[in-house]
Structure formats: structure tokens, C-alpha cells
Amino acid sequence: MPQKKKDKIFSRLQKRYRVVIEEDKNLEHVVSFKFVPLVTILVIVASFTLLIFLIYSLLAFTPLRKAIPGYPSAQTQADAMRNALKVDSLEQELRVWNLQLNNFQRVVLGLPPLPIDSLLETGNIAEAEELVFEARYAYQDSLLKAEVASGDQYDVTVVKRDMENIEGILFFPPVKGHITEGYNPAIAHPYVDIAVKPNTSVCATLDGTIISSVWNDDTGWTIQIQHSGDLISIYKHCTKTIKKSGEKVSAGTPIAFAGNAGNISTGSHLHFELWYRGAAVDPETYIRF
């Protein structure tokens, strides 16, 4: 809108006007009043604002608010508060009972009870629950290891063999990393676990033929390679395989990617086994990881 037109409208709003009401028949003067449009507009806006403020104040700060349909009464609000406190108290009591039940189960199983009473006395329920969770995880992990050990004790025959034929073989390390658990057939662990970063390339340790490349819910992708001289290498907990059964590979050739695959995996690592003439041998004896 042009500035001249704006000024003209504003000027008209500031002028004084007279409104006269007369009878139609004899033009007799009934009433008249003067007004300024700008002032009239401001008065109307202020009146509406004041009216809204008064209505809000009446509804917010006086008992009239209870007349609004659906507005909770003081009794309803008090009942809701009491119910919320009762629910919170019951939830806390249920958590304490769960902790006590867990200790009772440990005693029945012949396990020592956890020292959660001292934590409950200080009201630290969250720390007690964390203690129970860690103990439960450790117990389940020990059960899993025992199950694996009992299942493997009839399948794995670890005996001392004549190793002269493999002493001079140059093995390529399948991965480079830190060994978290070494070769220990006494606890049904005739292999090594090597911690690595996720998606680390896994390489064939020797020339050979892939005789198995399958997915297993417990161990993830599992690859087995048949090498010459009655040697077999096994790689578990891989997240992805890039070789298929029947393919020939050379030492150092990438065959998969290591990670945290499988239900019994506890972190990103490679499970590596080395077998010679049907017996598991210690990979660390021949390979520097």
C-alpha cells in the first residue's frame, strides 16, 4: 500500500465525527454523540482484553472453575495423588520382592546369596538390581560353558601327536588382535578367541579348500577349510562370509568378516580352531596373532 494512502487512512482515523439520530417523520433530533475512530478502536480492543482477563481470572483463581465440565474436583485430585503414591510404593515393594526371590533361588540352587540386603537398607534398589543382573548373567554364562563342555567332551579328542610334520609350516595369521581366552582343552576350550574390531577381515591361514561355509544361530557364520597334510582350520562368529563351500583359497586370502555374531558371542572376536590328524592343536604354538 502506498505511503500516501496509509497517511490518508490514518488521518481519517484521527478526525472527530458526529453521529446524529433523528426521527424520520419530522426530523426531530433524538440523540447525537461524537467519536474518534482510532480512539474507539483502541477502547474496543482494551475492553475485549480486559474481559478475557477477567474471565480467565474467575476460572483460574475462584471456585467457578469447578463448574467447567470435566474439571476434577479437589477430592478427585487428592485421590489421584494418593493412588499415584500407592502405585509407586507397590512398584518399589515388588522390585524388592523380586530381589529377595532371586536370592532364594540362588540358595535353592546351592549358590551363595548376594549381599543385596545392605543395599536395600540404604534404599539403593537400582544398584541391587544391577548386582543381581550381573550375577544372573555370570551364572547363565557358566551354564552355557558347562553345556558346551559336556557336549564336546565326547567329540573332541585332544592327545599328543607327532607334530614333526607341521613344525616347519608357515601359517598366515587369520586376524591380528588380542587373545582373550587361550587354548585350554582341560576346560573344553581347544581353540583361541581373538578380540578384534568389528568387520575385521578374516584370512585363510593356509592354502586349502573350503569344505563348509554355513550360518549357525550360536556361532554365526562358520567356515571350515581343509588343508594339505591332514590340517583343518575353523573360523567362527563371523558376521559375513565372502567364500562358498568348494572354493579353493590361498594363505592370506580374505574369506569372511569377524564380529559379534551368534547367540553365545560376548563381543567382537574370532573363534579360531586348528586341527591336525583329528586332534585339536594350540594355534599359538604356530601362529603369532
30-76 tens-digit pLDDT: 788 888 888 889 999 999 999 999 988 877 777 766 666 666 666 77
Q: d(Cα 245, Cα 224) in Å, to the nearest integer?
A: 9
Cα distances (Å, whole numbers) of residue 150 to 32, 139, 146, 186, 193: 110, 16, 6, 12, 20
Q: What is the pLDDT of residue 160?
A: 44
Q: d(Cα 55, Cα 132) in Å, to the nearest integer?
A: 57
Phi and psi (nearest 5°) for 233?
Answer: -115, 145
- Is the pLDDT assigned to residue 222 strictly greater than 60? yes
Cα distances (Å, whole numbers) of residue 111 to 7, 135, 195: 92, 11, 31
Q: What is the pLDDT of residue 200?
A: 95
Higher-scoring residue by pLDDT: 209, 77:
209
Mean pLDDT of 254-264: 94
Q: What is the pLDDT of residue 114?
A: 73
Q: Which residues have a Cβ under 8 Å from the Cβ of 266 and sit 6 or more positions away? A: 141, 260
pLDDT class of 275 with cuts at 50, 70, 90: very high
Cα distances (Å, whole numbers) of residue 23 to 26, 29, 33, 107: 6, 7, 16, 105
Q: What is the pLDDT of residue 58?
A: 78
pLDDT class of 21 with cuts at 50, 70, 90: confident
pTM of the complete model = 0.46
Helices 74-108 & 125-152 angle (0-180, nearest 10): 40
Contact 194, 270 (CB under 8 A): yes
Mean pLDDT of 13-31: 82
Q: Which residues have a Cβ under 8 Å from the Cβ of 247 and sit 6 or more positions away? A: 209, 210
Q: Which three cell numbers stand for residue 202?
A: 578374516
User: Is 172 exposed, middle or buried, given 0-12, 13-18 or 19+ CB atoms closer than 10 A?
Assistant: middle
Q: What is the pLDDT of residue 113?
A: 75
Lowest mean pLDDT among 15-29, 150-164, 200-214: 150-164
User: Is 110 exposed, middle or buried, given 0-12, 13-18 or 19+ CB atoms closer than 10 A?
Assistant: exposed
Q: What is the pLDDT of residue 257?
A: 96
Cα distances (Å, whole numbers) of residue 169 to 48, 205, 224, 226, 229: 97, 11, 19, 15, 10
Q: What is the pLDDT of residue 51?
A: 93
Mean pLDDT of 180-196: 93
pLDDT in tens, 138-174: 666 666 666 666 555 544 444 344 455 687 889 999 9
User: What percentage of the chain exceeds 70 in pLDDT?
Assistant: 81
Lowest mean pLDDT among 35-49, 89-103, 122-136: 122-136
Q: What is the pLDDT of residue 85?
A: 84
Cα distances (Å, whole numbers) of residue 241 to 210, 222, 232, 275: 11, 8, 18, 21
